[in-house]
Amino acid sequence: MYKPTAPGTWKGRVDATDGEDGKRWHQGVQLLNLSEATEPAGAEQAIAFLGFCCDEGVQRNQGREGAVQGPPALRQAMASFAWHLEEGTALLDAGDVYCTNQNLEEAQNQLGKKVHALLSNTYKTIILGGGHETAYGHFLGIKQALPADKQLGIINFDAHFDLRSYEKQSSSGTPFLQMADDLINSNLEFNYLCLGIQQYGNTQKLFNTAREYGADYVFAPAMQVYNYETLREKLQQFMALVDVLYVSIDLDVFAAAYAPGVSAPAALGIHPEIALILLQEIISSGKLLTLDVVELNPTLDIDNRTAKLAASLLYHVVQQWSQV
C-alpha cells in the first residue's frame, strides 16, 4: 500500500524574524504524490525521500520489531535542519510504501515500482527504511531503471552480509542474496562490497556464501580513520569496476553508543566519522544513483540518538549530492 505524505507532516522550529535566511528543511520540502503520473524532475537537482514502513522482514529474521516506525522518525529528525541548499535544488517527499497483512513480497514490489518511477524521471532517490528487507524492494526499482549498458555496484555499510538463504522465506537477512541471484539469472554481474562486517555476527556459512558469490568486504575493526588511505584505495578499486552505485546504510554497523536504536546493536561497531568520509568519497565519484538508510528502530532508541545520527548522515549526503 502507498500513501503520499500529508501536508503538515514536516514541521519544526521557525525563525520568523530571520526571513529567508532562517529557512529550514521543513519549510522547503515539497510533497510529491506517486499515485499520480510522475513528472520529470523539474529542478536542476531534485532529491526525493521515499519511506518504506515495514519490519516484517526483521520479524521473519527473529529480530526486534519497531523499524516500521523508522521513516516518520527520520523525517522528524531532519525537519529542523538549516537550509543551505543552493538555488535550483529541490528537496521532495514522495510518501511511504506500507507492508500490510505481513505481505512483504507485495510491499517490496510496490517499493520497486515507486523507486523506478523516481529514478526514471531523474530524481536522486533516498529510501527511508524500514528493516533491511527495504534493500530488495529498492533493488527491484533500480534494476528496472538501470540502462542495459550500465554496470551496477552495491556498497553496503553493515555489520552483516545479509546473504542468508531465502529458500523457505525472504527476510531482512536475505536481500543481497536475492539481488545476487536476480542479477546472475539476468546474465549480469553481482558487484558487492560490504563495509563494517562483524566476524562474530556472521556464521561460517555466510562467509562461504560471500566467497562463492565473489563479495568483497572489510571487517569492522579495520574501519578506522587512521586506515583511511587503505580503505579509500579499496573503495576506488571497487568503484572503478562499475558505472553506477547503490549504497545501503544499515545503522547496526555503528557502535551501540552512537546507534542504540537498532534491532541488533553492535558494541564494537564503527565510528560515524569513517562512514561519513567514505560516503563523501562515493558521492565525489559522480556514480551514486540511489541510497537507503535502514534498521532505525525508534522504540529502542535513546534520546533519538540513532535517528539523529541517520539524519545527520543524510544531511551531509544531500548537501554534497546536490552539488554533483
User: Tens digits of per-residue pLDDT, 18-59?
Assistant: 999 999 999 999 999 999 888 888 778 999 999 999 999 999
Please say whether the beta carbons of 86 and 152 come within 8 A. Answer: no
* pTM passes above 0.85: yes
pLDDT in tens, 70-90: 999 999 999 999 999 999 999
pLDDT in tens, 241-289: 999 999 999 999 999 999 999 999 999 999 999 999 999 999 999 999 9
CATH superfamily membership of 2-321: Ureohydrolase domain (3.40.800.10)
> Cis link prior to 153 (omega < 30° from 0)?
no
**Burial class of residue 64, CB neighbours in 10 A (0-12, 13-18, 19+):** middle
For helices 228-240 and 272-284, angle between their N-to-C axes, nearest 10 degrees: 40
Cell of 50: 521515499
Task: Report how far residue 80's alpha carbon sits from residue 24's, in angstroms, rounded to the nearest whole number.
Answer: 6
